[in-house]
Chains A and B, each alone.
Chain A
Amino acid sequence: MEKNSNEDEHIEKLFKSVDIPQITEKQIESVVKVAADYLPLGRKHMSLWDMAILELRTTSIFFWAACAALMAIAVLFISSAESSFSAAGIFIVVAPAPLLFSLLEIMTTRTPNVIELEKVCKYNVNQLYVLKIMIGTVLNIVVLALISVFSLHTLNSPLQMFLMGSTIMLTIGFLALLIATTLGQSLPVMGILAGWTIAASMLFDNGPKLAMALLSIRFTPLLITLLVSTMLFVLTLHSFSHKLTSLSLGGT
C-alpha cells in the first residue's frame, strides 16, 4: 500500500472538490434497463451452427475475394506448371494463406467500438474468435482440397500433398497465433505471410534437394507431424482467444 504524503492528500481533496454533475435516479434506471438486456440468462441462445452462419455473414468481402483469387491463381499455375515438382512448390507456397488471411481479417476488422460492443454483449467473445479461426482453418482445408482435386493431373500424389499442405497451414498458423498472442498486432502476421511466401518460393527455386526431401516424406511421419502441428495450433488458439478477451475487456 502506498503511503500518501500531505501533498498527496491535499491534491486528493482538491480533486474531490471538483463539481461533477449529478445524474438523476431515473437516468440511472434507464441504464439498468439497457444493461439488463445483456444479463446472462436473458441472452439469446445460439447454436454453434447459428454462430458459424453469423460469422460467415460478418466476414468481409475482401477475405472471400482474396481466397477465391488465391485458389484460381494456384489452380492456374499448377495446371500450367512444367513439372510435378513446380506444381508441388506452388501448392506448398499457397497452403497457409487462407488461414493467415482469416487471422488478419479478425485482427484488423474488430476495431469499431459498435461492432465490438455488439459482439461482446450478445455472445461469448472467446467462442466467437475461436469459431472465426476455426472457420478460417476449415476454409483453408477446403481450398487445399479443391486445389488438389483441380490439379489431380499435375500433382504427383494429391493426398500426400494435401496432408503436407495441411501440416504447413497448421504450423504456420501456430506461429502466427503465437506471435499475435505475444504482440497483439496484425503487422507481424502479415510479415509471416510475406516471409513464408518468399521463403517457400526460394526453397523451391534454389534448393531442389531440400525441397525434394520435403516432398518425399512418407505417409506415417507426415501424419504424426500433422497431429503434432494440430495440437500446437489448438493450444495457441486457446491462449489467443483469451488474450483477445483481455485486450478488449481487460483484467479478466
Chain B
Amino acid sequence: MVDEIKLIDRIKHGDRRALDTLVKAYYQNVFAYFYYHTQNRETAMDLTQEVFVKVVASIETYENRGRFRSWLFTICANHLRNHWKYGSTHDEYELEEESEEDMAVSWQNITDSTDLLNALSQISTDQRDCVILKYYYGFTSREIAEMLHIKEPTVKARIRYGLSKIAKLLRGDETGGKEQ
C-alpha cells in the first residue's frame, strides 16, 4: 500500500515519480468508474486523463483530511456530471415510483454479470453513480453522500431503486422502460 500522504506531499513539491506512482495506483480504478458509466473505452480513457489532470492541478488544495480516494472520486463524480451536462448526449431515465413490495427483488439467484453493464445503462445516472460507488468501490452511503453533496437517505433510496430495477432487468422481468 502506497503511503498516500507522503506521495501527495511529494507531488505538491513537483515530484514526477510520485505522480507516476499515484496515477498507476489509481488509473484502473478511475477508468472503471467511467467505463461503468459510459461503457465506451475511449470516452472512459479521455475522462480518466482529464480527471488526473484536474487532480494534479488542484493537488495543492488537498489538505490530507479524509481519504484521498474519496477526494479523487468526488472529482470523478463532478467531472462525469460536467461531461453529461456539456460534453455529450445521453439517455436519462425517470425515477419510477415503486412500492416496497416491487423493490423486494432477491439477488441470490442472479449469478451472471454479463448483462450487468447493459442493465446499469438503463437506470438513471444518479442511481447508477450511487450503486457503482457502493458495490464496485465499497464506499459507505455516508461517504457517497459527502462525495455527491446529497443526503444519506437519498443515497440509500437511489441504491434501493437502482438495485431493484437492475435485478428485474437481469431476471428479464421488464424491458427497462427506456425513454425515446
**Residues in A whose Cβ lies below 8 Å from that of B28:** 20, 22-23
Q: How far in angstroms is the closest Cβ of chain B from A84?
A: 50
Q: Taking the complex as formed, is A213 at the interface, i.e. its CB lies under 8 A from any CB of chain B? A: no
Docked complex: B5-57 residues within 8 A CB-CB of A: 11-16, 19-20, 23-24, 27-28, 31-32, 35-36, 41, 45, 48-50, 52-57
With the chains together, A7 CA to B28 CA distance in Å? Answer: 26
Whether B110 contacts A14 by the Cβ 8 Å rule is: yes
Segment at the A interface, from B68-76, B95-103, B172-180: B68-76
B136 near A16 with CB under 8 A, answer yes
Task: Please indicate the chain B residues that have their CB under 8 angstroms from the CB of A65 in the complex.
Answer: none
Q: Mark B126-169, 1 if CB is under 8 A from A, else 0.
A: 00000010011010111000110100000000000001000000
Select one of A7, A18, A122 contacting B108, CB under 8 A: A7
Which residues of the partner chain A approach B116 to less than 8 Å between Cβ atoms? 14-15, 18
Q: Nearest chain-A residue to B140 (Cβ)?
A: A2
Q: Specify which chain A residues have a CB less than 8 angstroms from the CB of B78 in the assembled complex.
A: 247-250
Task: Determine the chain A residues whose CB is within 8 A of the CB of B87 once the complex forms.
Answer: 113
Give the chain A neighbours of B14 by CB distance below 8 A: 39-42
B89 surroundings in chain A (CB, below 8 A): none
Q: A53 an interface residue at 8 Å Cβ cutoff?
A: no
A66 to chain B, nearest CB (A): 24
List residues of chain B with CB within 8 A of the CB of A31: 23, 27, 48-49, 52
- Among residues of B, the one whose C-beta sits closest to the C-beta of A25 is B24
What's the nearest-Cβ distance from chain B to residue A22, in Å? 7
Mask for A219-245, Cβ within 8 A of B = 1, else 0? 000000000000000000000000001
**Nearest CB to that of B33 among chain A residues?**
A20
A61 at the interface (CB under 8 A from B): no
Asked whether, in the complex, the Cβ of A38 is within 8 Å of the Cβ of B45, the reply is no
Interface flags for B100-128 (1: CB within 8 Å of A; 0: not) read 00000011101101001100000000000
B93: interface (CB < 8 Å):
no
- Chain A nearest CB from B81 CB (Å) reads 10
Contact-residue size bin, chain B (C-beta under 8 Å from the other chain)? 35 or more
What residues of A have a CB within 8 angstroms of the CB of B110 in the complex?
14
A120 to B52, CA, bound (A): 12
Q: Judge whether A121 and B82 touch: CB under 8 Å.
A: no
| Chain B residue at smallest Cβ distance from A29 | B20
A251 contacts B75, C-beta separation under 8 Å: yes
Closest 4 CB pairs of A and B: A41-B14, A250-B74, A121-B57, A251-B74
Q: Which positions in A face B, CB cutoff 8 Å?
A: 1-2, 7-8, 10-12, 14-18, 20-23, 25, 27-29, 31-32, 34-36, 38-42, 111-113, 116-117, 120-122, 124-125, 245, 247-252
Interface CB pairs A-B, < 8 A, 24:
A1-B140, A7-B107, A11-B135, A14-B110, A14-B116, A20-B36, A21-B35, A23-B28, A23-B31, A27-B45, A28-B24, A29-B20, A31-B23, A32-B20, A34-B49, A36-B19, A39-B14, A112-B86, A113-B83, A113-B87, A117-B53, A121-B56, A250-B77, A250-B149
